[in-house]
Amino acid sequence: MLKLFQKPIRVIAIDFGSNAIRVLIGEQNKEGSIAILGYGTSPTESAISKGIIQDIDATRQALHHAISMAYQKNNKVPPKLISIGINTPRAETQTKEGVVRLKNEEITEEHMYQAFDMAQRELNKHEKELITSVTSYEWYIDNIGVSQPLGMKANQLKIRLHATLIPKVIIENIRNCIESVLTPTHSVIDHFIYSPIATALGSLTPEEFELGALIIDLGKTTTNMAVFSEHKLLYASTFDFGTIFLTRDVTALLKVTFDEANKLIYDYGISSELINSPNIASPAVSELKNISGSTLSLSSERKNNPVHLQSALDGFSRNIPKMELEGVIFARAQEMVHTLKQEIDIKKLENTFIGGVVLAGGGAQLKNFDILVKKCFNTPVRIARPLGIQNIPQSINNSEFATVVGILKHGFTQYNAIQKGTVFQHKRIANQFFHFLTSPKKLFTSKKKRTNAS
């Protein structure tokens, strides 16, 4: 009998962000510990927006650069799996159930597949691809929740499948980009995971998964939100806003460049004085200029300390009151946080995350953003750090890498589940897997060969 995974296995994780592509190369030993072998980042500028590739050539270049950085100190050993995060407001999440009737029978892999197949048949997948994983499965035997029903006896097997549907065109273009850079022969399994779930996997503690936690990932063009409780996924979604909204507001009102606006946002952050002001409820963004009105009790420092603008257009002031900048930033930030809170209230999830809120993404590093979220949600808030990795490099031990670490961890979980036969979404994955074991091909081709192929 073929013994699998005696050697450490490698996985590549890729996070296609609107601000940057992040790549991790990880290795898992037979004890299950994960170590980072290499990492790389590359700015995407406008090549990716809201999870959708806008310029595939520029995206390929950015991906190639990030992967080359990750492999600087490692030989190019082919990975067993490429784990890819996907994140778009066009994602549609649904929960469906599949039930298999038994007669006090021992549950087999075929029973589990039948339950999965019944659940996924309920989904409307027209022009969309189903994204799911072992993280998205909830199993029940005779209506009792279990983590793994295989081999147990029951009269009924039920699955609750948390599925994400992504337009096929989005996935195919990402896959095309990866294949052209990494896998010209497609000799390695690829697997997608919905980014809000990956962020949770990369940053929540076991206690937070059990008690319940809300993860908010504030990115450049999108914001992801997910809720886990009792180790189950209760909710996941992507919102069509991010820190770019703050940048645009500052640019529009102060007539500065996007680069300077972005720098001002991170230099000054969100005013704690405005957050704690009893006179502010929920101002509309259309009233940004009125935020700094005379009705507020403002400190003399905020009234008198000017902000010098380097790139203001001719005819516009290059020195503005600090309170004017703070008012612009605060109004939009508060609007976004209130939108998230409203969604939680509508879904009746406000009592499901007693473990608190965890903030991830580049937006989590905005000064006082955690204080604003804490006031709005009235619950403890912390900034995410990647968890579950041995000796993680300090340069990636921050909220921006929480998602790609989760993508990496998920890749190992998914690969091991394929080994055990507990992944049912695509039988082609299992076929790829065993074909790769019996006739592996080179993952990396020479530049000359790639040129000739083109």
| Residues 78, 449, 183: CA angle, nearest 5 degrees | 35
Which has more confidence, 7 or 150? 150
Span of 8-17, 72-81, 96-105 with lowest mean pLDDT: 72-81
User: How confident is the model at residue 441, as a pLDDT?
Assistant: 41
User: How confident is the model at residue 35, as a pLDDT?
Assistant: 93
User: How confident is the model at residue 251, as a pLDDT?
Assistant: 96
Q: Is the sign of the CA dihedral 408, 414, 415, 420 positive or negative?
A: positive
Distance CA 243, CA 151 (A): 49
| Per-residue pLDDT tens over the stretch 126-143 | 889 988 877 778 999 999
User: How confident is the model at residue 429, as a pLDDT?
Assistant: 40
Domains of the chain: 9-88+168-208+386-453 (3.30.420.40), 92-167 (3.30.1490.110), 239-383 (3.30.420.40)
Distance CA 48, CA 42 (A): 12
User: How confident is the model at residue 1, as a pLDDT?
Assistant: 34
Q: How many CB atoms sit inside 10 A of residue 280's CB?
A: 16
Q: What is the dihedral of CA 421, 422, 427, 433, to 10 degrees?
A: -50
User: How confident is the model at residue 282, as a pLDDT?
Assistant: 46
pLDDT band at residue 300 using 50, 70 and 90 as cut-offs = low
- For a pLDDT cut of 70, what percent of the chain falls above it? 83
User: How confident is the model at residue 451, as a pLDDT?
Assistant: 37
Which residue from 51, 72, 153 is spatially nearest to 105, judged by alpha carbons?
153
| Per-residue pLDDT tens over the stretch 33-78 | 999 999 999 999 889 999 999 999 999 999 999 999 998 866 667 7
| Per-residue pLDDT tens over the stretch 337-378 | 999 999 999 999 999 999 999 999 999 999 999 999 999 999
Mean pLDDT of 6-17: 88
User: How confident is the model at residue 187, as a pLDDT?
Assistant: 57
Q: How many CB atoms sit inside 10 A of residue 233's CB?
A: 22
Tokens 């049912």 locate to 424
Q: Is the sign of the CA dihedral 325, 331, 336, 338 positive or negative?
A: positive
Span of 244-253, 254-263, 314-323, 442-451 with lowest mean pLDDT: 442-451
pLDDT band at residue 329 using 50, 70 and 90 as cut-offs = very high
199 neighbors 402 (Cβ within 8 angstroms): yes
Distance CA 208, CA 33 (A): 21
pLDDT band at residue 454 using 50, 70 and 90 as cut-offs = very low
Mean pLDDT of the chain: 85
- The CA radius of gyration of the chain, in Å to the nearest whole number, is 24
Which has more confidence, 380 or 190? 380
Residue 194 DSSP class = E
| Per-residue pLDDT tens over the stretch 179-200 | 888 765 445 678 899 999 999 9
| Per-residue pLDDT tens over the stretch 409-429 | 999 998 888 877 666 654 444
pLDDT band at residue 178 using 50, 70 and 90 as cut-offs = very high
Span of 212-216, 224-228, 359-363, 439-443 with lowest mean pLDDT: 439-443
Distance CA 173, CA 42 (A): 19
* Phi (first) and psi of residue 279, to 5 degrees: -90, -5
| Per-residue pLDDT tens over the stretch 134-175 | 777 899 999 999 988 999 999 999 999 989 999 999 999 999
User: How confident is the model at residue 415, as a pLDDT?
Assistant: 87
pLDDT at 443 over 50: no
pLDDT at 398 over 50: yes
pTM metric for this prediction: 0.86
- For a pLDDT cut of 90, what percent of the chain falls above it? 67
